[in-house]
Amino acid sequence: MTTNNENIVLHVADVHKTFGGLHALSDIDLQIEEGKTHAIIGPNGAGKSTLLNVVVGRLAPTRGAVVFDGQVLTGKQPHEINQVGVARVFQTPEIFPDLTVLQNVMIPALAKRDGDFKLNFLSSLEDEVEIREEAEHMLEDVGMKASKDMFASSLSRGDKRRMELAMCLMQHPRLLLLDEPTAGMSRHDTNTTIDLLKKIKERGMTKVIIEHDMHVVFSLADKISVLAGGRIIAEGTPEEVRNNPKVQEAYLGGAH
Amino acid sequence: MNSIFSMSRKDVITFLIFSAVVLLMPIWLQPFGAAYPDLMQKFAIFGILAIGFNILFGLTGYLSFGHAAFLGAGSYAAVWTFKLFSMNPIPALIFAVIIAGLFALAIGYVSLRRSGIYFSILTLAFAQMSYNLAYSVLTPVTYGETGLQLALDDPRIADAAFGGGSDVALPVSNLFGMVNMNGIPGFYFCAIFLIIGFFITQRIFASPFGMMLRAIKSNQNRMSYTGFNTRPYTLTAFVISGMYAGLAGGLMAVTDPLAGAERMQWTASGEIVLMTILGGVGTLIGPVVGAWLIKYFENIFSSFNENVLHNLFAFLPEGIEKFVVEVTSMFVGEGWHLTLGLVFVLVVTFLPGGMMEGYRRIVDMFQKKDDGDGKASTKSDAATAPAE
């Protein structure tokens, strides 16, 4: 274990998760440094999404704990975990299909104020000028301004993911978890998303990315953890991981 | 909160038209044969019930099958206020709304731990429990099968203190001794509450709170991972809609001061669901339209008998006339439920968005005339999706 605790924003401490007899995660000890982009890669079924589910409170770990910025997240409700500054983009977009794109992006911004409940039924949505403008800016950043009045259900899969990313960014989270943010996107959209994620990095947002696309991983990650069979089998800079024979054998198959 | 009464232009126009339609009922209902006070009072009362129910079902998507319990609770509360306190409807309504709200808080607190069909079953179970309790254990409060009625020797402490009321006849609810709450004044009294209720619903629909409720309906998971504690939101929607039902129940007692347990029966809860779906779930006006249609059918179609039909079809030749009367008589009188059932099946099959979808399609058809047909379909799809 490293000792430079001041820079560690997320610490997944000795987490185990079993489903019946299946060991989905074993001995996971992961430290994410503030402001860095940390990629988690690994073959299908390695436990990557399970790991994110444990972090955001969808699953409770069988053993171990998740510590974010000195607070233990384990046992908290998903909305409480979000409120301390953890946002997540899902593998299959979790959006509000029956609302417009603009409303989808406005709601996360209202969470800080209204998340714990506010009965403001006498004020009008039209009065939320600041948040509306912020949401419009955000949509411009992700290149979706033209579709702001469309219903989210009518967007393409790639656009749904971009919108979900915009929704998370509206919250200015300290930690952003991305579960395959570019899956289902065209090459062009993938590159736009990479540029966008690089831009966020300049603002100092910490990110954990699960990704299959090695182009995305190697253009974004500062550090990579390789997961296989529910265990971390290697960890290091992209260079180190690329040259690690264990990783090549387990995952990359020597192709990269 | 910069402007409590800031409303969009469209909302103001909708509100004004709605108010006019309600207040002018005694005139425009004449040709339909429905302009008598009893029925118009029902239009107003069930309109309130349906728009309140729609705040829960239309916005959050939680389908309650037990709203009649709050209607009944409101009625009992109002009649008790008449008996013990005063024949003035205002305290009776306040008490009815509070009691129904408390009921909704308790039932909603438990039921909202589940969603989907389990939520519906829980609310149904609670409503049936209330119904059975009203018939059995709670007889001292509800007077069981006879129902709760006014009596000459009721204390009515406020009225007694002001020397109002006579000792010979049962009193009628009245506004500060001035306006009696039966007939046309009773209708206008209810109509004012319908308009206020509609106004509040409009505000909820256009507010951030309303958007949160819609977002919960759309994707509750995303709401949680976005930092929203959804339970207080759904519970508030449940209590608000329970209070609307309580107000409706109170108004029933105001226009006709008695309360019976059958108001809480599951068929009554089912009727509220029918009204909302028939008119258009999640739309502002739809539930009111649905309530009016069902009450109209119930009162007008059920009053048709063979004599009326014979008169109606008298112009036909003897044999055919007999046959036509035979067939049509299945759909009227006692058989009005058959007509209602058929209409419901047709609407749900061809207009899943209810009468309001039909209205929107007609409007779209006229607007698209000059556009050409090409893009019309995609646009109308988008237009039917929003719950406005």
Could you tell me the domains of chain A? 1-85+174-183+205-256 (3.40.50.300), 92-172 (no CATH)
Residues facing residue A142 across a β-bridge: none
Instruction: Give the per-residue pLDDT at B281.
Output: 93
| Residue whose pair of structure tokens reads 């909202």 in the numeric block | B112
- A125 to chain B: which residues are within 8 Å by CB? 206-208, 210-211
Question: How many angstroms separate the CA atoms of B279 and B350, rounded?
Answer: 13
Q: Report whether B181 contacts B172 (CB < 8 A).
A: yes
Predicted confidence (pLDDT) at residue A255 exceeds the cutoff of 90:
no
What is the arithmetic mean of pLDDT over A172-186? Answer: 87
B8, A121: Cβ pair inside 8 Å?
A: no
Quick one: pLDDT band at residue A243, thresholds 50, 70, 90? confident
**CB < 8 Å to B207, chain A:** 120-125
Q: What is d(CA B141, CA A43) in angstroms, rounded to the nearest whole number?
A: 67
Residue-level pLDDT, tens digit, chain B, 388 residues: 445 566 788 899 999 999 999 999 999 998 888 888 999 999 999 999 999 999 999 999 999 999 999 999 999 999 999 989 888 899 999 999 999 999 999 999 999 999 999 999 999 999 999 999 998 888 888 888 888 888 878 888 887 777 655 555 677 777 776 677 778 899 999 999 999 999 999 999 999 999 999 999 999 999 999 999 999 999 999 999 999 999 999 999 999 888 888 888 888 999 999 999 999 999 999 999 999 999 998 888 777 777 777 777 778 788 888 888 888 887 777 778 888 888 889 988 998 889 899 999 999 888 876 554 444 344 334 333 344 3
pLDDT of residue B369: 63
Answer whether B227 sits within 8 Å of A117, measured CB to CB: no
Interface check for B9 against chain A (CB to CB < 8 A): the answer is no
Size of interface A-B (CB pairs under 8 A): 128
Chain B residue closest to A56 (CA)? B225
Q: Give the minimum alpha-carbon distance from B241 to chain A in angstroms, rounded to a whole number.
A: 14
CB contacts of A161 in chain B (<8 Å) are none
Q: What is the pLDDT of residue A7?
A: 85
B3 contacts in chain A (CB < 8 Å)? 124, 127
- Contact between chains at B221 and A94 (C-beta distance less than 8 A): yes
**Pick from A56, A47, A53: nearest CA to A22:** A47
With CA atoms as reference, report the closest residue to B262 among B97, B341, B148, B339. B148
* Mutation site for A-interface testing, chosen from B228, B231, B375 by largest number of A Cβ within 10 Å: B228
Candidate from B225, B230, B385 with C-beta closest to A82: B225
Q: How far apart are CA A144 and CA A159, in angstroms?
A: 8
Q: In which element (H, E) is residue B251 found?
A: helix B230-255
Gap from A35 CA to chain B (nearest CA, Å): 21
For position B252, what pLDDT does the model report?
94
Judged by CB atoms closer than 8 Å, whether chains meet at A99 and B215 is answered as yes
A194 at the B interface (CB within 8 A)?
Answer: no
For A90, nearest residue in chain B (alpha carbons): B222
* Interface residue A158 vs chain B (CB under 8 A): no
pLDDT at B28: 93
Residues of chain A positioned with their CB less than 8 A from the CB of B200: 121
Q: Which of residues 35-94 of A touch B (CB under 8 A)?
A: 56, 77-79, 82-83, 87-88, 90, 94
Facing A151 at nearest CB: one of B203, B229, B385? B385
Q: Which residues contact B69 (CB under 8 A, 6 or more apart)?
A: B103, B107, B126, B127, B130, B131, B264, B269
Tokens encoding B354? 């209810």
- pLDDT number for residue B70: 96
What DSSP string runs through B267-305?
A: HHHHHHHHHHHHH-TT-SSHHHHHHHHHHHHHHHGGG--
Q: What is the mean pLDDT of chain A?
A: 87
Q: How large is the average pLDDT for residues A163-173?
A: 92
ipTM score for this prediction: 0.88
DSSP letters spanning B133-162 = HHHTTTHHHH-TTT-EE--TT---HHHHHT
Of B217, B221, B228, the CB nearest to A111: B228
Tell me which chain B residue has its CA closest to the CA of residue A89.
B225
Sheet with A22-33: list strands edge to edge. Answer: A22-33, A8-19, A63-68, A71-72
Angle at A88 between CA B116 and CA A173, to 5 degrees: 125
Backbone phi, psi, residue B341, to 5°: -60, -45
